[in-house]
Structure 1
Amino acid sequence: MKLASTIMVIGSALLLGLFIYPLWHVELEAPQYPRGLGMNIHLDGIVGYTKHDIRNIDGLNHYIGMKTLPKKGDMWEFTVFPLVVGGMSVLGIIIGLFGFFKRSAYKWFMAWFVLMTVLGILGMIDFNAWMTDYGTNLDPNAIMKMTDDFGNPLSYKPPLFGSKDILNFTAVSYPSLGGILLGIGMALTFISYFVGKKLSKKSN
Structure 2
Amino acid sequence: MKKAGILMIIGSLLLLGLFRFPLWNIMLGAPQYPDPLGMDIYITGIKGVNEFDIQNIDGLNHYIGMQTIPKPGEMWEFRVFPLVVAIMAVSGAIIGLLGFFGKINHWWFLGWFGLMAVLGVLGMHDFNLWLSDYGTDLDPHAIMKMIHPNGTPMTYKPPLLGHQKMLNFDVDSWPHTGGYLMFTGMGLTLIAFFIGKRSKNIVQ
Q: TM-score range by the shorter chain?
A: over 0.9
Judge conservation of contact 2:65–2:139 (CA < 8 Å) in 1. Answer: yes
2:131 is aligned with 1:131: yes
SS of 1:174 mapped into structure 2:
strand
2:34 is aligned with 1:5: no
Judge conservation of contact 1:110–1:190 (CA < 8 Å) in 2. Answer: yes
Query: For residue 38 of structure 1, what is the aligned residue in structure 2?
Result: 38
Q: How far is 1:149 from its partner?
A: 1.2
Query: For residue 143 of structure 2, what is the aligned residue in structure 1?
Result: 143
Q: Can you list the C-alpha shifts for 1:116-141, whole angstroms capped at 9, x where unaligned?
A: 00000000000000000000000000
Q: Can you list the C-alpha shifts for 1:152-197, whole angstroms capped at 9, x where unaligned?
A: 1111000000010000101100000000000100100011000000
Q: How far is 1:35 from its partner?
A: 1.0
2:163 is aligned with 1:167: no
Structure 2 residue identity aligned to 1:11: G
SS of 1:165 mapped into structure 2:
strand
Judge conservation of contact 1:96–1:109 (CA < 8 Å) in 2. Answer: yes
Query: For residue 108 of structure 1, what is the aligned residue in structure 2?
Result: 108
SS of 2:70 mapped into structure 1:
coil
Judge conservation of contact 1:11–1:189 (CA < 8 Å) in 2. Answer: yes
Structure 2 residue identity aligned to 1:168: N
| Structure 2 spans left out of the alignment, 5+ residues | none
CA-based RMSD of the aligned residues comes to 0.8
Query: For residue 16 of structure 2, what is the aligned residue in structure 1?
Result: 16
- Percent sequence identity is 58
Residues in 2 aligned to 1:30 and 1:193: alpha-carbon distance in whole angstroms: 46
SS of 1:105 mapped into structure 2:
coil
Q: How far is 1:101 from its partner?
A: 2.0
Query: For residue 176 of structure 1, what is the aligned residue in structure 2?
Result: 176
2:75 is aligned with 1:75: yes
SS of 1:27 mapped into structure 2:
strand
Q: How far is 1:7 from its partner?
A: 0.5
Residues in 2 aligned to 1:14 and 1:195: alpha-carbon distance in whole angstroms: 19
Q: How far is 1:104 from its partner?
A: 4.4
Q: How far is 1:105 from its partner?
A: 2.2
Map 1:42-57 to 2 at 5 A.
42-57=42-57
Could you list the structure 1 runs, at least 4 aligned residues long, displaced by more than 3 angstroms after superposition: none
Residues in 2 aligned to 1:12 and 1:104: alpha-carbon distance in whole angstroms: 16
Corresponding pairs, count: 204
| Structure 1 spans left out of the alignment, 5+ residues | none
Q: How far is 1:103 from its partner?
A: 6.0
Residues in 2 aligned to 1:104 and 1:81: alpha-carbon distance in whole angstroms: 28
